[in-house]
Amino acid sequence: MIEAKDINFYYGDFHALKDINIKMDINTVTAFIGPSGCGKSTFLRLFNRMNDLIDKTRITGECIVQGENIYDKSIQVDQLRKKVGMVFQKPNPFPKSIFENVAYGLRVNDMGDKKIIAERVEESLIAAALWDEVKDKLKKSAFELSGGQQQRLCIARALAVSPSILLMDEPASSLDPISTSKIEELIHNLKKDYTIVIVTHNMQQAARISDMTGFFMMGELVEFSETKKMFLNPEKKETQNYITGRFG
């Protein structure tokens, strides 16, 4: 279970997230939607402490992942990030071979010898529905893949270290419709093994793939409920306006 309690987040003086409270169950897909700059990506990046990399940021409140406050001083950030994988908006494979891209996480975390790594790479590529397309060219540079394949490679890379939670920051926003549908299918299949939190600016996508949906606006979590309910019968006026396309 993932929980956020009274989260406030600041970029310098800018109050980016305001009093966020949320609970997400395991093995569900939670989608965050909202207009640009509403704080949904910022919120997502709290769960693997990616925002730590940005200067002059400040957080109050508690972020609980598997019973631990991940902003506690005793938390080792690299261990946390092993548990909470992330897929980014733009496909960002390393300038390495396909194999080495997937093996990277295993290597930096000392997870097994050559044989185990090879097995794990294959499993991850299969899980990311990429194996059949790349099994004959694992030694080739990752940059030779198409954008959609690169993104699935990045998903495989994240899966390789066996996280329990997968954060996805608009994973399909830079892809064509066919690649997008492949990713969506993949997310659907991954749900049984992983807890997935996804940020998207595409409302149809949120409706298609998620169990729960949160609507962010101006740094506030306006509404959080079951996806079906959110899109058919939203409680708040703002949500209604946004999903019917009246603004945003």
Q: How far is CA 165 from CA 14, 65, 136, in A?
A: 29, 9, 30
Q: Does 2 bind other proteins (CB under 8 A)?
A: no
DSSP 9-43: EEETTEEEEEEEEEEE-TT-EEEEE-STTSSHHHH
- Rounded least distance, CB 188 to other proteins, Å: 22
Q: Does 55 bind other proteins (CB under 8 A)?
A: yes
Q: Does 166 bind other proteins (CB under 8 A)?
A: no
| Part in contact with other proteins (CB under 8 A); list of ranges 3-11, 57-65, 83-91, 218-226 | 83-91
Q: Return the half-sphere exposure (C-beta side, CA atoms, 13 A cut-off) of residue 167.
A: 22
Which residues contact residue 80 at a Cβ distance below 8 angstroms, ignoring those fewer than 6 apart?
A: 48, 49, 65, 70
| Part in contact with other proteins (CB under 8 A); list of ranges 4-12, 153-161, 180-188, 203-211 | 153-161
How far, in Å, CA of 90 to CA of 179, rounded?
Answer: 13
Q: Does 11 bind other proteins (CB under 8 A)?
A: no
Cβ closer to other proteins: 15 or 90? 90
| Part in contact with other proteins (CB under 8 A); list of ranges 57-65, 85-93, 175-183, 195-203 | 85-93
DSSP character at residue 136? G
Task: Judge contact between 146 and 179, C-beta under 8 A.
Answer: yes
Instruction: Give the interface with other proteins as residue ranges (CB under 8 A).
Output: 48, 50, 53, 55, 78-79, 81-82, 85-86, 88, 90, 92-97, 100, 104-105, 107-109, 141, 154, 157-158, 161
